Amino acid sequence: MRRNPFLALACGAAFLLGAAPAAAGTLQVNPVLVEINAGRRTATVTVRNEESTPVTIRAYPMAWQQADGEDRYEESSAVIVSPPIFTIPPGGSQLVRVGLRARSAEPQAYRLIIEEVPEASPGGGIRVALRLNLPFYSMIPPGSASDLAWSAARQSDGEWTLEAVNSGSGYVRLDAAAAQSATGIAFEDQLHFGTVLPGATRRWRIGREPTVRDRARFEQLNGAHRRDSAAAGRD
* pLDDT tens-digit readout, 30-89: 999 999 988 788 999 999 998 888 999 999 999 999 999 999 999 999 999 999 999 999
Between CA 84 and CA 100 the distance in angstroms is 14
Q: How far is CA 202 from CA 17, 121, 233, in A?
A: 40, 40, 21
- Domain identity same for 102 and 150: no
Q: Provide the CATH number for the domain around residue 26.
A: 2.60.40.10
Which residues have CB under 8 Å from 25's CB, separation 6+?
10, 11, 51, 55, 116, 127, 129, 130
Residue 184: which of 161, 210, 156, 164 has the closest Cα?
210
Distance, CA of 64 to chain centre: 10
What local confidence, expressed as pLDDT, does residue 123 receive? 59
- Domain identity same for 62 and 123: yes
Q: Provide the CATH number for the domain around residue 218.
A: 2.60.40
Domain range for residue 105?
7-138
What local confidence, expressed as pLDDT, does residue 102 receive? 83
Q: How far is CA 209 from CA 156, 203, 212, 222, in A?
A: 14, 17, 9, 14
Between CA 82 and CA 60 the distance in angstroms is 9
What local confidence, expressed as pLDDT, does residue 40 receive? 82
- What pLDDT band is residue 223 in, cutting at 50, 70 and 90? low
- Domain identity same for 90 and 161: no
- For the chain, give the percent of residues with pLDDT over 70: 79
What local confidence, expressed as pLDDT, does residue 225 receive? 53
- Domain identity same for 122 and 205: no
| 1 domain-assigned | no
Between CA 148 and CA 13 the distance in angstroms is 40
- Domain identity same for 108 and 151: no
pLDDT in tens, 135-151: 999 999 999 999 999 99
Span of 2-16, 106-120, 191-205 with lowest mean pLDDT:
2-16
- Domain identity same for 126 and 161: no
Q: What is the pTM of this model?
A: 0.80
- Domain identity same for 73 and 174: no
Half-sphere exposure of residue 96: CA atoms within 13 angstroms, side-chain side: 31
Between CA 204 and CA 212 the distance in angstroms is 16
10 vs 218 pLDDT, higher one: 218
Query: Contact, 12 vs 22, CB < 8 A?
Result: yes
- Domain identity same for 45 and 105: yes
Half-sphere exposure of residue 125: CA atoms within 13 angstroms, side-chain side: 19
Between CA 113 and CA 60 the distance in angstroms is 5
Last residue of a domain, one of 123, 138, 153: 138
Mean pLDDT on 153-159? 92
- Domain identity same for 45 and 95: yes
- Domain identity same for 116 and 193: no
- Domain identity same for 23 and 110: yes
What local confidence, expressed as pLDDT, does residue 11 receive? 39
- Domain identity same for 12 and 118: yes
